[in-house]
C-alpha cells in the first residue's frame, strides 16, 4: 500500500538547462507530454529546456512554462509507476501553484500551459517597463522585516520559511531596505539577481492582463485540495481560484503558512516535483519532522518510486 503524499511544485528560479531531457529519453509518458507542449505553444520549448542557452531558459516567458511542463511530466511518470499513489493535497511556490492546479484537474494541461505561458510573458513585460529589484532578508523577526518593508516603501514578496523573507519593489526602495536591515536586527540582507520586482505592486500590469486570461479559462473543482499562496488556505470554488491566482502576481507568497496548514492537517510526507530541491530546503526550516522526497530527474524519480510503492 502506497504512502499518502502532498505534491509540491517548484517556482521560478529552479530551472536549469538540461531539465527534463533524461525523463523524455526514459519514459514515453514524459515524451508525449513534452511533444504536446511544443505543439500547443507553437515553438520547441523542449529544445530550450534541453539545450539552452541559459539566458533564453532564464527568461520569465520561457522558464515558467518550462517548470510547469517539467513538474507535470515528473508527476505523470510517478503516477504511471506507482499505480495506487494517494495524493492528499497539492501546492506550488508562486508559478508552481498553477502546476498544482493542473495536477489537481482544475484546468487541463493545455489550458494551464496557455495561462502560464501568457503569465510569464506578462510578467516579463512588466519587468521591462519598471525598474524593480528584490532582496532576501535572512535571520530577522517577521514583524521587523514587515516594518522595514513599509518604511522603505517596498512589498513583502515571499514568506518562504522562518527567518527567510523576500522583499520586492523599486531599486531605490530595495537599496534602502538592504541598508537599513542590520539596525532592525536582520542578520543578512542580500539583493537577488532577478529581472524585476516579482510579487509587488510593480507587477500590477501583469496581474490585470492575467485576470482577463483567467476569466476565459475553464475552471473545474480540484480533485484534491489545492493550497493557494495568496491566502495560505485551500481553494475549490472557481471564482476564488481565479481571484487567488490573479492576486498572487502582486501579493505575498505565504509559503510558510501554507506548509504549516498542510502539516496541521496530518500530512507527513511531501513530494517535491522540480529541479533544485528548493522546497525541501525550505521545509527543513519550517518543520524538520516531515519527510520530503525530491524528484528532479530520472534517477531521483526511480528512487522515489521505490520509497512510495
pLDDT string in tens for the chain (309-residue length): 467 999 999 999 999 999 999 999 999 999 999 999 999 999 999 999 999 999 999 999 999 999 999 999 999 999 999 989 999 999 999 999 999 999 999 999 999 999 999 999 999 999 999 999 999 999 999 999 999 999 999 999 999 999 999 999 999 999 999 999 999 999 999 999 999 999 999 999 999 999 999 999 999 999 999 999 999 999 999 999 999 999 999 999 999 999 999 999 999 999 999 999 999 999 999 999 999 999 999 999 999 999 998
Q: 51 to each of 83, 150, 180, 309, how far by Cα in Å?
A: 32, 42, 42, 33
Neighbouring CB atoms inside 10 A of 10's CB total: 29
Q: Give the right CATH number for 4-127+201-308 from 3.40.50.620, 3.90.930.60, 1.10.620.20, 3.40.366.10.
A: 3.40.366.10
Active site residue 133: no
Q: Give the right CATH number for 131-192 from 3.30.70.250, 3.40.605.10, 1.25.40.80, 3.40.1350.10.
A: 3.30.70.250
Which of 176, 191, 185 lies closest to 136 in space, CA to CA?
A: 191
Neighbouring CB atoms inside 10 A of 153's CB total: 13
C-alpha to C-alpha distance for 64 and 32, rounded to whole angstroms: 19
Task: For Cα atoms 247, 250, 254, give the angle at the middle one, nearest 5 degrees.
Answer: 75
**And the C-alpha cell for 50?**
534541453
Which of 308, 253, 261 lies closest to 286 in space, CA to CA?
A: 261
Helices (H), 58-202: 60-81, 95-103, 109-129, 142-152, 171-180
166 within 8 A of 158, measured Cβ to Cβ: yes
Phi/psi of residue 60, nearest 5 degrees? -55, -40
Burial of 69 (0-12, 13-18, 19+ CB in 10 A): buried
Exactly one of 199, 200, 258, 294 is catalytic; which is it? Answer: 199
Question: CA 192, 194, 199, 204 torsion: positive or negative?
Answer: positive
Beta bridge partners of 234: 227
C-alpha to C-alpha distance for 180 and 246, rounded to whole angstroms: 32
* Angle in degrees, 0-180, between the axes of helices 95-103 and 238-247, rounded to the nearest 10: 160
**DSSP three-state, residue 133:** strand
Question: What pTM, to 2 d.p., does this model score?
Answer: 0.97
C-alpha to C-alpha distance for 148 and 150, rounded to whole angstroms: 5
Q: What is the pLDDT, as a whole number, of residue 241?
A: 98
C-alpha to C-alpha distance for 92 and 57, rounded to whole angstroms: 20
84 within 8 A of 53, measured Cβ to Cβ: no
Exactly one of 10, 61, 94, 258 is catalytic; which is it? Answer: 94
Ranges for all domains in the chain classified under CATH 3.40.366.10: 4-127+201-308
**And the C-alpha cell for 111?**
489550458
72 within 8 A of 103, measured Cβ to Cβ: yes
Q: What is the pLDDT, as a whole number, of residue 3?
A: 79
Active site residue 300: no
C-alpha to C-alpha distance for 87 and 65, rounded to whole angstroms: 23
Q: What is the pLDDT, as a whole number, of residue 14?
A: 94
Ranges for all domains in the chain classified under CATH 3.30.70.250: 131-192
Per-residue buried b or exposed e for 17-41, using 16+ beta carbons within 10 Å of the residue's own CB = eebbbebbeebebbbebbeebeebb
Q: What is the pLDDT, as a whole number, of residue 309?
A: 83
Amino acid at each position: 500500500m502506497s504512502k499518502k503524499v502532498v505534491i509540491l511544485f517548484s517556482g521560478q528560479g529552479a530551472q536549469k538547462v538540461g531539465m527534463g531531457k533524461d525523463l523524455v529519453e526514459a519514459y514515453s509518458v514524459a515524451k508525449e507530454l513534452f511533444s504536446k507542449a511544443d505543439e500547443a505553444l507553437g515553438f520547441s520549448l523542449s529544445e530550450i529546456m534541453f539545450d539552452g542557452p541559459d539566458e533564453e531558459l532564464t527568461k520569465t516567458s520561457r522558464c515558467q512554462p518550462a517548470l510547469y511542463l517539467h513538474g507535470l511530466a515528473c508527476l505523470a511518470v510517478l503516477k504511471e509507476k506507482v499505480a495506487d499513489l494517494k495524493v492528499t493535497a497539492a501546492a506550488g511556490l508562486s508559478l508552481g501553484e498553477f502546476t498544482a492546479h493542473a495536477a489537481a484537474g482544475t484546468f487541463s494541461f493545455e489550458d494551464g500551459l496557455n495561462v502560464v505561458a501568457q503569465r510569464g510573458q506578462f510578467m516579463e513585460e512588466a519587468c521591462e517597463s519598471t525598474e524593480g529589484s528584490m532582496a532576501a532578508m535572512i535571520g530577522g523577526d517577521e514583524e521587523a522585516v514587515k516594518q522595514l518593508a513599509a518604511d522603505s516603501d517596498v512589498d513583502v514578496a515571499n514568506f518562504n520559511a522562518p527567518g527567510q523573507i523576500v522583499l520586492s519593489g523599486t531599486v531605490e526602495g530595495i537599496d534602502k531596505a538592504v541598508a537599513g536591515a542590520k539596525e532592525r536586527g536582520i542578520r543578512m540582507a542580500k539583493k537577488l539577481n532577478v529581472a524585476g520586482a516579482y510579487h509587488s505592486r510593480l507587477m500590477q500590469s501583469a496581474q490585470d492582463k492575467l485576470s482577463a486570461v483567467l476569466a476565459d479559462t475553464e475552471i473545474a473543482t480540484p480533485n484534491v485540495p489545492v493550497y493557494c499562496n495568496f491566502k495560505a488556505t485551500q481553494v475549490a470554488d472557481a471564482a476564488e481560484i481565479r481571484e487567488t491566482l490573479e492576486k498572487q502576481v502582486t501579493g505575498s507568497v505565504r509559503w510558510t503558512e501554507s506548509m504549516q496548514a498542510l502539516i496541521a492537517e496530518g500530512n507527513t510526507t511531501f513530494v517535491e516535483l522540480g529541479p533544485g530541491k528548493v522546497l525541501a530546503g525550505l521545509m527543513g526550516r519550517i518543520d524538520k519532522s516531515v519527510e520530503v522526497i525530491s524528484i528532479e530527474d530520472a534517477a531521483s524519480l526511480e528512487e522515489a518510486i521505490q520509497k512510495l510503492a
